[in-house]
Structure 1
Amino acid sequence: MATITARIERTPYETHLSTGSQVIVIDEPTDVGGQDKGMRPGELLAGSLASCTVITLRMYADRKGWPVDSIVAHVDYTYNSQQNRSTFTTRLILNGDLDDDQRARMLEMADRCPVHKALENPSAFETVLVTDPVQNP
């Protein structure tokens, strides 16, 4: 996977998130000092889960040859700071001529996307301070 780079300059909270070939804008809403030019970081996190879920389901349906016209995932994300716990609620809409067994299997597969697996398992973090930004832009 490509390295993801986040860059913020002087415009309050407007952050450019990039890979080698793609750029998206992350921001905060105006009521907290941002300009509302993009999703909030938590919305991006929920969006990562939603997009990974529908991509995983599209791949599975295509591999099985199932008649799926479209897949929609609505993801709600909340963080409870008192319990230090995140909750993701995903509501799936499967459009296509699927029988009950196929729909049940698609529901099972939804929880197998890589982002879902990463979020539900313990993660390790390492943060290092780059002391020579010329060498490590």
Structure 2
Amino acid sequence: MKSEAFVESTNKRYTQTITTGNHTLIADEPTELGGDDKGPAPFDYLLSALGSCTSITLSMYAERKNIQLDVITVRLTYIPPNEIDGSSSRIIRKIHLEGDFTDEQEHRMLEIADRCPIHKTLRSNVDIMSSFE
């Protein structure tokens, strides 16, 4: 499925208007980085995309397998790379599930979480082709 977004700067320093489908969103940087904190920062949207995709993927799996899944929460933290020790950036994803399922089903759902499209995209090599319009 193809996705598109249109991002346009505003008259505010870093505030951006994002249009995707029928939705309009705002992105900005926090005040400590010189923004006006009018909306989530770009990395917040990245984490939100991964978290919501994870939760939706688990919901779809549970529906297909008739697993009672009452609550899904996903907490994500982005840790930037450390040039001093050479570590790469990482995302820590903690998933909490509530419902009526076995330990085996829970283990399988953790595997399924890694199959969400955003997770797979982040783990793959993505070509980004830039040009001027």
Report the counterpart of residue 97 of structure 2 in structure 1: 94
Structure 1: runs of 5 or more not aligned: 131-137
Report the counterpart of residue 24 of structure 1 in structure 2: 25
1:61: Cα distance to partner? Answer: 0.3
RMSD: 1.3
Identity of aligned residues (%): 36
Structure 2: runs of 5 or more not aligned: none
User: What aligned pairs does 1:1-137 form with structure 2 within 5 A after superposition?
Assistant: 1-80=2-81, 82=83, 83=86, 85-130=88-133
1:20: Cα distance to partner? Answer: 3.2
| Structure 1 stretches of at least 4 aligned residues deviating more than 3 Å after TM superposition | none
TM-score w.r.t. the length of structure 1 is 0.89
Aligned residue for 1:77, secondary structure, equals strand
CA distance, structure 1, for counterparts of residue 94 and residue 6 of structure 2? 30
CA distance, structure 2, for counterparts of residue 19 and residue 127 of structure 1? 19
Amino acid aligned to 2:22: S
CA distance, structure 1, for counterparts of residue 77 and residue 49 of structure 2? 12
1:9: Cα distance to partner? Answer: 2.0
1:81: Cα distance to partner? Answer: 5.5
1:84: Cα distance to partner? Answer: 7.8
Aligned residue for 1:36, secondary structure, equals coil
Q: What is the aligned length?
A: 130
